[in-house]
Amino acid sequence: MGIQILLHLTVMLVLAPLLFGIIGKTKALFAGRWGAPLFQPYYDIIKFFKKGNVYSTTTTWIFQVAPLVYLATILVSSLLIPFGGLKAPVYFWGDFILFIYISGLSRYFIIIGALDTGSSFEGMGASREATFSCLAEIVLALDFIILAILSKQLILSEMVGGTILSSWPLFGPVLLLVGLSYFLVLLVESARIPIDDPTTHLELTMIHEVMFLDHSGWDLACVSYASMMKFFVLGSLFVNILIPFHNLSAILQTVVFGVGMIGLAIIVGIVESCIARLRLNRIPELIIGAFVLALVGLLIILIKGV
């Protein structure tokens, strides 16, 4: 199991920044530019790791611990999810609850880390993150409940595993609704347009980025890397739900999974290129929309029965 865990983490550590590179390239092509190199996210992380940390005298140990906890929680949560041919190294009954709570823990630490600086910008960011993610959490839980009912499983990797294959012919519409609402949650959680603009420099409009304004060096590398891996983790769940490839051989599964992940990055890039960001007070409406989609899916299952 040790080797399995190591392999799992290595795959994610190596590939996660590539997705951001693909998103960036897609956006650049839509804007008629060549854009930054595909491997720019890797260069950025290496650059951050080379720099020294700077700590404000108003911060405490919480500020320094938060990036590490954020990184650690993402690494742990990734172990519950299969990456194509790689089965989830850790699984047990009810582990989807652990998944939700781990993401809660990571959020809690970045929020108190941001509040620890005492900066009004970071305070605003923390308040926004708390508001929007606590709404998104409910949608995520609802999506998991639907998947659990469909697969009659309480293990996350099984919920999105082989049984999805048999659910598609009968419950295709439900899975589409789940996929769509999960996609919106994915955009909220990974702070992409139309919810948040990851490229903006305007502190007053940021949600996620603004909480890391005071981080530097290793800490900044940790949070940036963790954000990329968070997208990888959430994205791989999305691909598992929407593409039923689980009866293929392990190698083919990995290929399909890889293509699916690249496709997801391109879709996110296209979404970011085609619509403007929402006004901040409209974001809850979007999340409520995602909730309603999931709720309709749940209703279909409850009425039709599995």
Partner 1 sequence: MEKQGFQELYVRNGQSWAISAVPLLAEQCFQEKILKDCSLGSRLVNLFAYQEDSEYIRIFAMLGKDNEGKIAIFSMRVSVAKACFQSLTVDLPQAQLFEREIAEQFALTPIGHPWLKPLRYHKNYRNVPDIWPEIATRPIPGVYPFYQIKGEEAHEVAVGPVHAGVIEPGHFRFQCHGEIIFNLEIQLGYQHRGIEKLMKDVSADRAVQIVESISGDTVIGHTSAYCNLIESLSGCEISPQAQVIRAIGLELERLANHTGDLGALSKDIGFLPTAAYFGRLRGEFLNLSMELCGSRFGRSLCRVGGVLFDIDNEMIKDFQKRLLVAQKDLKNISRLLFMKPSVLSRFEGTGIVTNKIAKELGLVGPAARASGCVCDTRTNYAFGMYRFNHIPISTVNSGDVYARGFIRWIESQRSIEFILDVLNHIPEGDLQLKTNSLKPNHMALAMTEGWRGEIVHVAITDAASRLARYKIKDPSFNNWPGLALAVRQAQISDFPLCNKSFNLSYAGHDL
Q: Does 258 bind partner 1 (CB under 8 A)?
A: no
Q: Does 31 bind partner 1 (CB under 8 A)?
A: yes
- The single residue among 27, 107, 208, 230 that binds partner 1, judged by CB under 8 A, is 27
- The single residue among 15, 30, 163, 180 that binds partner 1, judged by CB under 8 A, is 30
CA dist., res. 101 & res. 106, Å (int)? 9
Burial (CB < 10 A; 0-12, 13-18, 19+), residue 202, is exposed
- The single residue among 1, 57, 169, 276 that binds partner 1, judged by CB under 8 A, is 276
Q: Does 273 bind partner 1 (CB under 8 A)?
A: yes
Nearest distance, CB of residue 212 and partner 1, angstroms: 13
Q: Does 277 bind partner 1 (CB under 8 A)?
A: yes
Report the residue number, 143 or 272, with the smaller CB distance to partner 1.
272
Q: Does 216 bind partner 1 (CB under 8 A)?
A: no
Report the residue number, 100 or 203, with the smaller CB distance to partner 1.
203
Binding flags for partner 1, 190-209, as an x/- string (CB under 8 A):
---xx--x-xxxxxxx----
Q: Would you list the DSSP string of the chain?
A: -HHHHHHHHHHHHHHHHHHHHHHHHHHHHHTT---S-TTHHHHHHHHHHHSPP---TT--HHHHHHHHHHHHHHHHHHTTS-BTTBPPS---TTHHHHHHHHHHHHHHHHHHHHHHT--HHHHHHHHHHHHHHHHHHHHHHHHHHHHHHHHT--SHHHHTTTHHHHHHHHHHHHHHHHHHHHHHHHHHHTT-TTT--TT---GGG-SSGGGGTT--HHHHHHHHHHHHHHHHHHHHHHHHHH---TTS-HHHHHHHHHHHHHHHHHHHHHHHHHSPPPPGGGHHHHHHHHHHHHHHHHHHHHHH--
Report the residue number, 111 or 256, with the smaller CB distance to partner 1.
111
Q: Does 2 bind partner 1 (CB under 8 A)?
A: no
Binding flags for partner 1, 104-133, as an x/- string (CB under 8 A):
----------------xx-xx--x------
Q: Does 301 bind partner 1 (CB under 8 A)?
A: no
Nearest distance, CB of residue 25 and partner 1, angstroms: 13
Nearest distance, CB of residue 121 and partner 1, angstroms: 7
Q: Does 158 bind partner 1 (CB under 8 A)?
A: no
Report the residue number, 197 or 219, with the smaller CB distance to partner 1.
197
φ, ψ for residue 86, nearest 5 deg: -80, 115
Residues 6+ positions from 296 with CB-CB distance below 8 Å? 177
Let me know: does 191 contact 18? Beta carbons within 8 Å.
no
Report the residue number, 201 or 249, with the smaller CB distance to partner 1.
201
Q: Does 275 bind partner 1 (CB under 8 A)?
A: yes
From the list 29-37, 110-118, 226-234, 258-266, the region that binds partner 1 by CB under 8 A is 29-37
Binding residues for partner 1, rule: CB under 8 A, are 27, 30-33, 120-121, 123-124, 127, 193-194, 197, 199-205, 272-282
